[in-house]
Amino acid sequence: MSGHKLLFSGLKLWTSGRSSWISRLNDGINERGKASFSSCSPKVCIVGSGPAGFYTAQHLIKARQDVQVDIFERLPIPFGLVRFGVAPDHPEVKNVINTFTQTAKHSRCSFYGNVNVGKDVSVKELQQAYHAVVLSYGAEGNRSIGVPGEDLAGVYSAKDFVGWYNGLPNCRELCPDLSCETAVILGQGNVALDVARILLSPFDILKKTDITQPALEALAESQIRRVLIVGRRGPIQVACTIKELREMVNLPDTRPEMVAADFEGVTEALKDVPRPRKRLTELMLKTALEIPGEKEQERRAKASRIWAFRFFRSPVEILADLEHNRTAGIRLAINRLEGSGEGARAVLTGEVEDVSCGLVISSIGYKSLPIDPSVPFDSSKAIVPNNLGRVQQAAGLYCSGWLKTGPTGVIATTMNNSFDTARSLMEDMDSGTLDVSVAKPGSQSICALLEKRGVKPVVFSDWEKIDSEETRRGEAIGKPREKLLTVEEMLQVARK
Residue 151 in domain:
yes
Which CATH number does the domain housing residue 19 bear? 3.40.50.720
Structure confidence at residue 40 (pLDDT): 64
* Per-residue pLDDT reduced to its tens digit, 440-462: 999 999 999 999 999 999 999 99
Q: Of 53-57, 132-136, 371-375, 421-425, which gets the smallest average pLDDT?
A: 371-375
Average pLDDT over residues 85-96: 94
98 falls in which pLDDT band (50, 70, 90)? very high
Domain boundary at 314, 347, 366, which?
366
The predicted model gives 182-195 an average pLDDT of 97
Tens digit of each residue's pLDDT (9 = 90 or more) over 252-289: 999 999 999 999 989 988 888 899 999 999 999 999 99
> CATH no. for residue 151?
3.50.50.60
**Quick one: pLDDT at residue 23?**
38
Mean pLDDT of 347-371: 95
The answer to whether residue 476 sits within a structural domain is no
Same domain, 229 and 353: yes
Which of residues 311, 339, 366 is at a domain's end?
366
The predicted structure's pLDDT at residue 343 = 85
Output the pLDDT for position 462.
98
Identify whether residues 440 and 325 lie together within a single domain. Answer: no
Same domain, 34 and 112: yes
pTM score, whole prediction: 0.89
**Do 229 and 286 sit in the same domain of this protein?**
yes
Last residue of a domain, one of 338, 366, 394: 366
Shared domain for 129 and 150, answered yes or no, is no
Which pLDDT value is given to residue 5?
37
**Measured distance CA(320)–CA(154) in Å, rounded:** 10
- For residues 447 and 319, membership in a common domain is answered with no
Give the mean model confidence (pLDDT) for residues 487-491: 98
Does the residue 389 lie in any domain? yes
Note whether residue 464 is domain-resident: no
Among 32-36, 118-122, 224-228, 345-349, which stretch is predicted with the lowest mean pLDDT? 32-36
Q: Does position 80 have pLDDT exceeding 50, yes or no?
A: yes
- Whether 491 maps to a domain, the answer reads no
Whether 46 and 172 share a structural domain:
no
| Angle, CA of 443, 417 and 101, to the nearest 5° | 50
Is 312 inside any structural domain?
A: yes
- Confidence tier at 64 by pLDDT (50, 70, 90): very high
How much is the pLDDT for 269? 87
Looking at the structure, tell me whether residues 362 and 376 fall in a common domain: no
Domain shared by 214 and 275, yes or no: yes
Taking 90 as the threshold, does the pLDDT of residue 32 lie above it? Answer: no
For residues 288-309, give the mean pLDDT.
94
Q: Which amino acid is at 431?
A: S
Domain count, the chain: 2
Whether 156 has a pLDDT exceeding 70, the answer reads yes
Q: What is the mean pLDDT of residues 392-417?
A: 93
Q: Tell which wins on pLDDT, 105 or 8.
A: 105
Report the pLDDT value the prediction gives residue 273, as an integer from 0 to 100: 87
Residue 472 lies in a domain: no
Lowest mean pLDDT segment, chosen from 21-30, 219-228, 400-409, 464-473:
21-30
Please give the average per-residue pLDDT across 491-496, as a whole number: 95
Is 488 within a domain?
A: no
The whole domain housing 293 covers: 142-366
For residues 136 and 156, membership in a common domain is answered with no
* Same domain flag for 397 and 323: no
pLDDT band at 17 (very low <50, low <70, confident <90, very high): very low
Confidence band for 1, pLDDT divided at 50, 70 and 90: very low
Once rounded to an integer, what is the mean pLDDT over residues 358-379? 94
Same domain, 374 and 290: no
Mean pLDDT throughout 344-366?
A: 95
The mean pLDDT value of the chain amounts to 91
**Structure confidence at residue 245 (pLDDT):** 97
Supply the pLDDT for residue 241: 94
Mean pLDDT of 191-214: 97
Query: HEC string of the chain?
Result: CCHHHHHHHHHHHHHHCCCHHHHHHHHHHHHCCCCCCCCCCCEEEEECCCHHHHHHHHHHHHHCCCCEEEEECCCCCCCHHHHHCCCCCCHHHHHHHHHHHHHHCCCCEEEEECCCECCCECHHHHHHHCCEEEECCCCCEECCCCCCCCCCECEEEHHHHHHHHHCCHHHCCCCCCCCCCEEEEECCCHHHHHHHHHHHCCHHHHCCCCCCHHHHHHHHCCCCCEEEEECCCCHHHCCCCHHHHHHHHCCCCEEECCCHHHHCCHHHHHHHCCHHHHHHHHHHHHHHHCCCCHHHHHHHHHCCEEEEEECCEEEEEEEECCCCCEEEEEEEEEEEEECCHHHCEEEEEEEEEEEECCEEEECCCEECCCCCCCCCCECCCCECCEECCEECCCCCEEECCHHHHCCCCCHHHHHHHHHHHHHHHHHHHHHCCCCCCCCCCCHHHHHHHHHHCCCCCECHHHHHHHHHHHHHHHHHCCCCCCCCCCHHHHHHHHCC
